[in-house]
Each structure stands twice: as structure tokens, then as C-alpha cells.
A and B are shown apart, each in its own frame.
Chain A
């Protein structure tokens, strides 16, 4: 083999490139995608690197095909990824619901761009924060990570694969054009320091009629194809054995609840937040690229003698409601910073408003990164 699988070392690397390297380091073997700004560099990197290390990148006819192909490949036991931006996610949504419904591990990267519709492809706007949770029809839970740096594009991609495999679910990387195109130091650790998880499988030779391959809140073993498990995989309402049931609504209730509970039951193991709000009167809540401006603003505020802390959502979904409530009990005022018109703000407000005053601040111009000075102004305003 020409290429090394894991490029251990220190690099000056673009976020999108780091994401591709994270996928390879996590053991991903198949990617499918369709060119789209500002995510294309992930496909480019995978197309170049994968064949050198035994993987394949497929450029397919559209994003619907991309998500379908990776789900199909995931059912053969491969770790899989697709990377796109908002318009691509819009096309994928039906099959994302399919992946949730038949419990398929896969990683979906959304390098968010100016939207709605075709919007402004090179602008970084985190406008798809709720789409990942509510975009496909029906009730379901999802896992979504919000990297804020090229290093996290690598780290979060590895983590996303581990979550996908552990919980048999699609996992999103909610990046944006800022983080995707940002170039910064990226450290790729040696292989033994990169934790990788692989899905649970039924015992080889198990009687196929006895395999409970679905709807276990503690994650059922996945009866992947080609091993004689004779898996019947349908996204229509089904039971633990994969048997379809289209007539009994209590079967539907069971189907929906078990799928959701599989994530909710384990949310304490999944949810990650970064807290720095000891003794703070005002807490800046943010995620992704905006958290960099929030940290800067908190630092400057400290220099002015203001007690300002930060709270960063690393996982947007499952939503860290309890962590936010805990924070709100201590803080007097909360400023939610997002590069959109307030997408997670209602969720944060619902968790916090009983205990603290909650404000919202977008950047002065959508698609620009927040100016720490502007955040400082807001801090002074709410303190008065």
C-alpha cells in the first residue's frame, strides 16, 4: 500500500481535509457523495486517499443516491460517510429517516452554507441546526456534533463514527463554511491513541429466526448482510425481528418509542458540552465557529472586570437540556449567540428561562463571524 491509513503528525490543515482524515482514521471504508460547495474538499480528499488505503469514494448522480449507497454499504458491515451542504441534506432527508428507522450506522457531514434554498454557497451560516433533528418526517432522535476548529473536524469525525457504531444511528457533523475552510494546526495522534468502536453483531451461526436485530433500547446486534443472518430489513413499522406490521398501531407506538429511547436512554453518555461559567453573572451560550468569538468576548469582559462565562454545545442533539438548566440556575443572564436568526435559541430558552433572563444575539450581518466587540456591547447592555 502506498498510503498510510493514519497520518500521525502535526499539520497545517483545512477543516474539510481534517474531516476526511478523521473518517479514514476511524476505519471508514466507503464514502459516496456529490460535489457541493463548501463541502467538496472532503470528497476530493477521500477520492485521493481512499484507494491508497483500501477504501472507495463513489461520486454518484445525486445526494439521494449518496445517502442510499452508504446505507446499503453500511448493511454490508462497512463504516461509511457522506459529506454535503444544506441543499444536499434537503435531498437526503427521506433516506436519513430510513437510516434511523432501520438503525444504520453512518456519518453525515453538513458543511453549512448561506441558505435558504441555493443561498450563498461560500458563506458560513449555521442555518440547518434544527433540520437535522426535525427534517425527515416523523418523531425521531439524532446525534449531531458541532466542531469549532479543524482539529475538531478530525476529532469529532472519529467520535461521530464511534457514536454511529455504538448506537446504530446516523450521526451528523454540523460544520459550516468557516470551520470547513479554516486552516489551522491539526494533530493526528498515533493509531493506538485513536479509540475506534465497531457495531455489535449477532453471534455467527445464530438461527436467523431467533435474531432480535432491531428495536432494543440498549442497541440490538446488527444482522449485517452476507453472513447468513437472512436479515429482513424494512423501514416500515416492524418488530424486534424485523417483521413488518402495518395494521396494529400499538406496533407503531412501540417502533417509534424504542427508536427514540435508544438515543434518549443513553443521552448522558452522548451529550458533550464545554463549561466555563464558574461565578459568572452572564453566560454566553454558543456552538461551532461562533464559540470562538464567544470565548474572545468573555476574555475581554474579564479584563473589564465583568463576570462573564461561556457554555458551548459540542452535541446539539440530543439537546443538552439538563446541562443548560443547571447552568441557568447559576447564571443571572444568558446570551445565546448563533450565526442564524435563532435556531437553537427557543430550545435553550425553554430550558433556561425559568431561572435566568435569556437574550439572543445574531452577528450584525448573517454570514459574518460575530465581532467580539459587538458581543461585549450586548454584555454591557444586559448587565445594566
Chain B
């Protein structure tokens, strides 16, 4: 009898047999969506270079993906990815990291590389909490929520990361939840092919540091909540701001063409070296 092997298993680094993810973590759903997108595009992992930062979601590519992976310092993976893209413009550079990493400590690199519209795909796993350090409030934590650093309820306004990245100038932005793996895969495929800065926010469950501690329940309950709260971009357009409070707008939020920085640099180099004159 032949052994049954997951077709995506070929993308997993040999020798890596266990995961550090907690039971019910959304990392696995996102990891599968990324690998499935690469598979469906008939790409090889050698066509890609991955960069990640610090936090649970940064462990999606590192060490699991059998590819070139740079596991960087907290908040900086996009800044490292910029250098990687400059050195290997023909490769697909993908950053996989969390909301704390990309939108709190690393916010400056996020907005500036979105502005530059450097071709890279950034997948932001947004679990609205600092999971690895034990459930501290993040810029994405809902107002009023009790966390380990907001024991009397969070008192800060919440970041809408996708809107931030749109405003900064990215050419492709989508938002999904871990309840939408198929739609997520389709958007990742588009993002990989996009000539520009593409950003995908994935609302994902942390059943241990968020679900258990805040009373949001188990992974299944959190996924059910995402299902109920999600509203498509099209539907959302018909609703008032009040109706949209506490809802998750999902779908492709922006998809436009604009100058991409690496291409613009190539043009500038031609001008400077006199190749066009």
C-alpha cells in the first residue's frame, strides 16, 4: 500500500517534524494558503525568498518552508526584504509576519515600502494580540478588551492596518480571515503576480492568548465568529459606518496599477549610465 503524503509536503524543510504552534492556531491555515497559492501558480519555492520578523506568525516560513528564509529582528522584515528584492529582483520576495511586528514596531517600514510600491508580498497575520509574549494588547486590540497589559480594558483606538497600507500607496490590498482559506489562496496568487507592493491582512485566531484569556472561546468558536462578522467589500459599501462597527470587511480592497520602485530604479540607472542617450 502506498503511503499517503500531502501534496504540499514537498515544500516543507526536510527534518522539520514538529511545530511550535499551539493547538487551534491559525498559522497552519495561512501556511497552507501560501503554499497552495505557490503550488497553483506552478512555482517552485526556489522562485521565492521569505523574510519574517519576531512573533508566532513569523514562524510560518521559518523553519517550515524549504526555501531561502531570513528570520529577522522584531519589526524589520520588510526593511530586510527591500534589500533582498534589490539584490534578486527576479525572485518573488514574501514577508510573513504579525500585526505587532508589522504595524506596531515595524510600522515605519510598512508604510514607506507601500509608498515606494516595491514589488513584494506582505502577509500580515492579525490576531489582535501579542501571542508569543503572553497576550499583551496590540495596536490592533479592540477597545475595551482585557488583556495582560490592559487588565481594566484597552483604552486605545484600534489600527485598521489594511486602510493604513492603502493610504500609504500599496497597489494591492486584501483582507480575509482564517475562515476564508480558499479566498485567501486566490488573493495570495494575485498578490504574488502583482507588479507592486501587495499586502494581505489575515484575521486569525489565537485561541490560547486571545480566545481563552478574553473569553472569545475556542478556535472553532473564533472561526464561527469570523464567519458571522465578515462582510464582503461589496456588501459593506451598502452599509453605514454604524452598521459596520464590529464587522470584518473582507475581500480585495484595492487593486491598481502604479509605478513600481525596482522598475523605476532600472530606468534611472539607464538614464544615469547613458544607455538611452
Contact = CB atoms under 8 A, between A and B. Distances in A.
B76 A75 contact: no
A384 interface: no
Contact of B84 (A2, A51, A76): A76
A69 B13 contact: no
A229 interface: yes
A30 B265 CA distance: 12
Contact of A30 (B73, B86, B269): B86
B80 A69 contact: yes
B189 to A, nearest CB: 22
Contacts of A243: 15, 63
Given A72-B83, A98-B73, A230-B66, 10 more contacts: A65-B108, A68-B76, A68-B82, A71-B80, A72-B51, A75-B87, A78-B86, A209-B14, A226-B68, A231-B68
18 contacts: A2-B273, A2-B274, A52-B273, A56-B265, A60-B82, A60-B112, A62-B108, A64-B109, A65-B82, A68-B72, A69-B82, A72-B83, A80-B83, A225-B87, A226-B68, A226-B87, A232-B71, A235-B71
- Identify which of A77, A80, A94, A234 gathers the most chain B CB atoms within 10 Å of its CB: A234
A58 interface: yes
B72 A225 contact: no
B190 interface: no
Interface string B99-120: 0000000001100100000000
Nearest to B274: A2
Contact of A72 (B70, B272, B273): B70
User: Majority SS of interface residues in chain A?
Assistant: mixed
Interface residues of B, number: 39
Given A76-B84, A225-B88, A64 B79 contact: yes
A232 B272 contact: no
A77 B87 contact: yes
A75 B73 contact: no
Interface string A87-100: 00000001100100
A233 interface: yes
Nearest to A29: B87
B233 interface: no
B96 interface: no
B206 interface: no
Nearest to B67: A230
A2 B109 CA distance: 33
A244 interface: yes
Contact of A225 (B68, B109, B271): B68
Nearest to A47: B272
A334 to B, nearest CB: 41
A80 to B, nearest CB: 8
A73 interface: yes
B273 A54 contact: yes
B164 interface: no
Nearest to A2: B274
A244 B63 contact: yes
Interface string B41-65: 0000110010100000000001100
B213 interface: no
Contacts of B68: 75, 225-226, 229-231, 233
Contact of B112 (A1, A61, A236): A61
A3 interface: yes
A43 to B, nearest CB: 16
A70 interface: yes
B13 A73 contact: no
